Structure 1
């Protein structure tokens, strides 16, 4: 059985910690699975660790957008197989692209069962063991699609429901009648009485089902060719494009613990601590959580059942019950991400100022992990000044290599090619000055340090 993990979303419901570059699955606020380790981990680190323990990572790939690749590599390793969407086009195109990768690049047979799941469920290991039962269920039932549903513990309005056909179902296999998306509480109670299951976004199919759909629509089944023609795929969810058009669907139930940590009130229930970062609260602040990523202290006095979240992107103070409504406030809030994790480390925007003459000044704190490097690049619309505050590195500037250390100041003029590698953990303050301080002005020439050194060697021969 092959597994496709879907990693997407912009995580607006967990603003200000989540943004377009750092979705909810990357927030390091959960306790590590090893009870002896007091560190923090993210949802994606937790799930990938569970799959590793069960020996399932060898058959798994992650489908995601280009904006999340560095974050995935940073958190779970550079050898994780990733299917990168050329553009965001919903879950059906992402799954179709991953299917062609398995089919044409990995020579997977059309009869192979493929399981699909989100990259961020909060579950125990039994969830993934139960997921593997979908293969046997598909083979035994001859169904086209098999789902895994969660036994509801309360009448939730947040989840979709899988409605069974009781007469055609058995104890082991549920015959699916239809679906109900996010009913009100009264409807949910009625559905639970009819043995409905929460739809947790987990399903399985034979690889040939998706390959056949592509062939029917005259779309390539080769991974490389579908990459080049990705924009031809309909911008639609797998539910609408495939599930709703499939008649023979079965499901199995999972009766263990399962949570979607998609809102602050649910996430705080599982956080490693009620205070993370430079913060404190009074003893009479009951059921109050603080997450502070800033370098200034946050204190809460005499307030209960609230959340305070502070990051370079903003500050949120909310009653926990009201926290799912955060989208109402930030739906139209558009700004550059102020914090990002990259394949080489991380950066934080300290200040961004725009002047009337179109000039801008952007100040960043940049941290590069030992042995990693920034790409060989140049900029057309800005100059940069770096002040090294920690560590040692090798700087390539205008085809010349030099060692840089704490206290050094480096000036990078407009248009000059440059790169840096961290010998030890390297940190510096970068001040950008120019008229277009945007990601699009990062013109990358080479990514790896081996390529960069080879290029310098050939130029200086």
Structure 2
């Protein structure tokens, strides 16, 4: 039977438990925590490998955060993958509205498909056995083709208290779901392992678009109606689809599990069958530093050294160094994570609590919970390498053929020194080309623009001076990326 699959990658999370490596504006799904590709790229690649003689796989549908839109496009471009759609949430409303956007897209806008099967995955998981993953998903697709809702379950190998569980009836490759169970305490989690009919909830679902829309309308008509209203106001631009901003903000925030999944097995009259396919493919959700330690290569003492790290007389410890040498002596079950602007030291068993640090940073209005020192932009990135009263020094990289906005600052002047590549500089009425070791001066209040006309990255050092150096002191007049003030 010929059928169309629509891979749906849910990429809107913030990954607060993996701080300081994961930040709100550069979260864990866009980091390479396991292997050479980022978690987002791994998720896309896994789902796009499902095609066979009877199955057509559409380009992936990405549901993500407005703030991450250029990260998403850049990482797809690196893979040479074209998305069917990139759906941008103007604000986070949890996974039920996100999945509903994908289902509405499949219903209304996906060309050449009649009620496709959605293969839905979070963007922040890892799998070590790709062949086993593909086999399990194909089993799930077949089970979902009759209108069933299918979830992938992970057989637990430890009494994990950080996951929800699925209780099944029977055994085999496709098992009826008896109930969804909340995150248990340690004693209950151990009992689940002993009883053997409990699986971790992976958060991966396979179901037809029409089935999700009908189930949501039955159990949460408020979410269904509000999301449909936001979808009706959608606008497409620059490869993105944006639902109505005000309408989307009015959608109740709810997860897929609470909105629909947990209700179906509990209600025999619901009309929707929920099944589970076991997945034994080296799965991890990499939800906290404990999970990163679990999947990483270890030395004879159970230590994990990532980056420029030296570990001595320690056991079961993870040290992740980003920008400098980090050494550790005499540690046991500890996590140490270093970035240029923050260091985390935590008991490995309590790594779930790192999100409390991020919450405190937000309360204190500190930027370290949101931004790295190195900040990515659609045209490249900048790294604030030094700052003091009335001055700031940045290292700036501009991608080939990329252009910054035509802009002006009220409170600062800038000096630009070209380190490598070619810079096209607009300053007032003048336009000049600068190459390596050449420099220029942008006076306070002057309209200016930086561009890279070359085929290699442009790198410059920018020295700012003035009474106020905040990023909000920018008046944009023209911008390739739609950011005009």
Q: Which one is further off, 70-79 or 123-132? A: 70-79
The answer as to 2:332 corresponding to 1:307 is no
- Report SS of the residue matched to 1:132: helix
Match of 1:398 in 2: 428
Match of 1:206 in 2: 208
Alignment of 1:308-387 (within 5 A): 308-334=336-362, 335-336=366-367, 337=371, 338-353=373-388, 361-380=391-410, 382-387=412-417
Match of 2:238 in 1: none
Does the CA contact (< 8 Å) of 2:106 and 2:116 recur in 1? no
Residue 72 of structure 1: CA displacement? 2.3
Distance 1:91 1:442 in 2: 36
Does the CA contact (< 8 Å) of 1:30 and 1:272 recur in 2? no
Distance 2:345 2:57 in 1: 39
Residue 351 of structure 1: CA displacement? 3.7
Residue 264 of structure 1: CA displacement? 1.4
1:304 and 1:118, CA in 2 relative to 1: closer, same or farther beyond 3 A?
Answer: same
TM-score, scaled to structure 1:
0.82
1:317-370 per-residue CA deviation (whole Å, 9 max, x = no partner) reads 2343333322233321133312233343332222455x6xxxx64432222233
Does the CA contact (< 8 Å) of 1:102 and 1:108 recur in 2? no
Distance 2:295 2:275 in 1: 32
- Report SS of the residue matched to 1:76: helix
The answer as to 2:272 corresponding to 1:270 is no
The answer as to 2:285 corresponding to 1:252 is no
Q: 426, 436, 449: which is aligned to 1:418?
A: 449
Distance 2:102 2:429 in 1: 40
1:148-187 per-residue CA deviation (whole Å, 9 max, x = no partner) reads 11122222111101122x2xx5634322222111101221
Count of equivalent residues: 430
1:255 and 1:275, CA in 2 relative to 1: closer, same or farther beyond 3 A?
Answer: closer
Alignment of 1:22-41 (within 5 A): 22-32=26-36, 41=37
Distance 1:378 1:209 in 2: 52
For structure 1, the 5+ residue unaligned runs are: 33-40, 449-461
Match of 1:94 in 2: 98
Match of 2:180 in 1: 179
Q: 420, 426, 445: which is aligned to 2:478?
A: 445
- Report SS of the residue matched to 2:234: helix
1:264 and 1:172, CA in 2 relative to 1: closer, same or farther beyond 3 A?
Answer: closer
Q: 217, 229, 243: which is aligned to 2:261?
A: 243
Does the CA contact (< 8 Å) of 2:50 and 2:138 recur in 1? no
Residue 28 of structure 1: CA displacement? 2.7
Distance 2:475 2:260 in 1: 39
For structure 2, the 5+ residue unaligned runs are: 236-241, 265-269, 299-303
- Report SS of the residue matched to 1:373: coil
TM-score, scaled to structure 2:
0.78
Does the CA contact (< 8 Å) of 1:386 and 1:410 recur in 2? yes
Match of 1:452 in 2: none
Residue 21 of structure 1: CA displacement? 1.0
The answer as to 2:176 corresponding to 1:146 is no
Distance 1:98 1:238 in 2: 13
1:187 and 1:116, CA in 2 relative to 1: closer, same or farther beyond 3 A?
Answer: same
Residue 4 of structure 1: CA displacement? 0.9
1:51-107 per-residue CA deviation (whole Å, 9 max, x = no partner) reads 455558743211110221222233331744421112222212222222222222224
Distance 2:189 2:332 in 1: 30
Match of 1:388 in 2: 418
